[in-house]
A and B are shown apart, each in its own frame.
Chain A
Amino acid sequence: MTRTPILEAARLVFRRDLTLAWRRWDEVTQPLIFYVVVTTMFPLATTPELSQLRLISGGVVWVAALLSSLLALEALFRADVEDGTTEQWVLSGQPLGYLLLAKVAAHWMLTGLPLVLMSPIVGTALGLPFEAWGTLVVSLLAGTGTLSVLGGIGAALTVGVRRGSVLLSLLVLPLAMPLLIFGARAVTMAIDGDSPAGPLQLLAAIFFLALSLGPLAMSAAIRISVEN
C-alpha cells in the first residue's frame, strides 16, 4: 500500500467533516438562525427608521456575523479530541497543519459561507442598498474566513476547558477587531458611494496572513491539547 499524499489526506478530512455535518444538519443551521436573531435586535433596540439604520448597517451586519461564527467555532475540535481522532491525526505522519486547515475549511463552508450568502438579505432589512451588496459579500468572505482560522486557534487552545465558549470569545474577539474595523468600514464606504478598495485589500492581506501562519499555531495548540 502506498503512502497517502498530503493533499489527498486533507481532502479526506474535508469530506469527512462534510459527511458528519450532513448527518447532523440541524447543528449547521443554528448559527444562521442566531445571525438573523441578533441582527433583529438592533432595530428593536434603536429605531425602525431604515434611513437611520442604514448608517450602522455595515457595522451591525459585521458584528452579528462575527458573533455567530464564533458561536459555531467553539465546538470545532471538541468531538475529535474527546474520541481520540485528533491524536491519530497527530500520529499520522502527515503535516498536522494541513489536516487542521482542511477541517477549518469544511467548518467555514458549513457555517461561514451560509452567513455570507445570507448577509445581503439581512443587510437589506437594515437599509443596506443594493449597490453595497458586492462589498458586503466580499468583505465577509475574507472576514469569516480569517475568523475561522483565528477561531480555530482559539478553539484548539480551549478545547479542554469547561465553559470554554466565553474564554474562546475573550481570546478571539480582540484579535478580530482589525477585521471588524476594515470590514465594516468597507461596507459603509460602499453605502456612501466611496471606493472600498483600501480596506478590502487590507482584509485580503490579513486573510492570507492568517492562512499562512494559522495552521502553525493550530498545530501547536492541538499538540498541547492531546497531551491528556
Chain B
Amino acid sequence: MWTWFHKLGSPPHAYRILGKMAPWFGWPALVLILVATWWGLWKAPTDYQQGDAYRILYIHAPSAWMSMFAYVMMAVAAAIGLIWRIKIAHAASAAGAPIGASFTFLALATGSIWGKPMWGTWWVWDARLTSELLLLFLYLGYMALRASFDDPQRADRASAVLAIVGVINVPIIHYSVQWWTTLHQPASVTKMDRPSIALVMLIPLFLMMAGFQLYYGWAMCRRLRGEILRRERNAGWLKEAN
C-alpha cells in the first residue's frame, strides 16, 4: 500500500496511474448521472406540495454537498503539500479548485431556478444559498491569489495558507449564516431543505450524489494530469514519453 502512495508522489507515475483510473470514475459517473436524471425527471412521483419544481433538488442538493466536499479536499491537499512539502498535493489542490467552484456555481444556479416557481423571485437570502455564495467567494479568492503570483511554488504555498484559513472559517460561516436566517423565522426550517419525502423519491438523490462524487473523481484525474503536465513541462520524463 505504501509503495503505491509513494509512487503517486512521483509525477510520471502519478500521471500514468491517474490516466488509468479516470475511466473507472468516468463511466460509472455517466451511468449513474443518467439514471438519476431519468429517475428524477420521469420515474419519481410529483410532490403534492411543490409539484414538479422540486425535481431541481436532485441537482441542487448534490451540487451543494459536492461544493463543500471539494473545498475540504482542496484544503486537505493544500495542508499536506504545505506541511509535508509534497508537490503533487499542491497540484491536487490547484486542480480541485475550479471543480469545486463549478459545483458551487451550479448549486447557486439551480437554487435560483428553484426559487422562481417556489417564491416568485430569482434570488432569496436563505441559509444554503447565502452559504454557497460565500463559499463561491472563498473559491474565487483562492484562485485569484494563485493567479497573482509569478513563482509557482510561492503561489502553491500562499494559496495553501489561504485554503487552510478558509476551511477553518467554513463552519463558522455556516453557523453564522444559519443563525442570521433564523432571526426572522425562529421556528422555520431552511427553505431549501429537503421536503419530507418517500424513499422512492430519495433514490434518485442518492444516485445523483454517487454520480457527482464519481464525476468529481474523474474530473480530478483529468485536471490533475493537466496540472502535472503544466508543472513538469521541462522535465526529462515528459520529453522521453513523447
A residues with CB within 8 A of B = 153, 157-158, 160-162, 164, 167, 170-171, 173-175, 177-178, 181-182, 185, 202, 206, 213, 217, 220-221, 224-225, 227
Contact = CB atoms under 8 A, between A and B. Distances in A.
A224 B172 contact: no
Given A167-B144, A181-B180, 19 more contacts: A153-B161, A157-B145, A157-B161, A158-B145, A158-B148, A167-B141, A170-B137, A171-B144, A171-B162, A177-B134, A177-B176, A178-B173, A181-B179, A217-B161, A221-B158, A224-B158, A224-B161, A227-B151, A227-B154
Contacts of A157: 145, 158, 161-162
B140 interface: yes
A182 B179 CA distance: 9
B15 to A, nearest CB: 27
Contact of A178 (B138, B149, B151, B172): B172
| Chain B interface size, under 10 / 10 to 19 / 20 to 34 / 35 or more | 20 to 34
Contacts of A170: 137, 140-141, 144
Contacts of A153: 161, 165
Q: Which 6 A-B pairs have the closest CB atoms?
A: A178-B176, A174-B137, A171-B141, A161-B148, A181-B176, A181-B180
Contact of B145 (A167, A175, A185, A227): A167
Contacts of A173: 137
A86 to B, nearest CB: 15
A157 B160 CA distance: 10
A220 B144 contact: no
B104 to A, nearest CB: 12
Nearest to B171: A178
Contacts of B165: 153, 175, 217
Interface of B: 82, 134, 137-138, 140-141, 144-145, 148-149, 151, 154, 157-158, 161-162, 164-166, 168-169, 172-173, 175-177, 179-180, 183
B134 A174 contact: yes
Contacts of B149: 160-161
A227 B151 CA distance: 10
A19 to B, nearest CB: 30
25 contacts: A153-B161, A153-B165, A157-B145, A158-B148, A164-B148, A167-B145, A167-B148, A170-B137, A170-B140, A171-B141, A171-B162, A174-B137, A175-B138, A175-B165, A175-B166, A175-B173, A177-B173, A178-B169, A178-B176, A181-B176, A217-B161, A217-B164, A220-B82, A220-B157, A224-B161
Nearest to B148: A161
Contacts of B172: 178, 206
Contacts of B166: 175
| Of A162, A170, A173, most B-chain CB atoms within 10 Å | A170
A133 B78 CA distance: 43
Contacts of A213: 168
Contacts of A175: 138, 165-166, 169, 173
Nearest to B160: A220
Nearest to B177: A181
A162 B168 CA distance: 28
A224 B183 CA distance: 42
A181 B137 CA distance: 16
A221 B169 contact: no
B195 to A, nearest CB: 27
A73 B141 CA distance: 17
B206 to A, nearest CB: 31
A88 B172 CA distance: 35
A22 to B, nearest CB: 32
Contacts of B176: 177-178, 181-182, 202
B61 to A, nearest CB: 23
A225 B82 CA distance: 15
A1 B199 CA distance: 76
Contact of A174 (B141, B164, B175, B183): B141
Nearest to A159: B158
B125 to A, nearest CB: 12
| Of A153, A174, A213, A227, most B-chain CB atoms within 10 Å | A174
Nearest to A221: B161
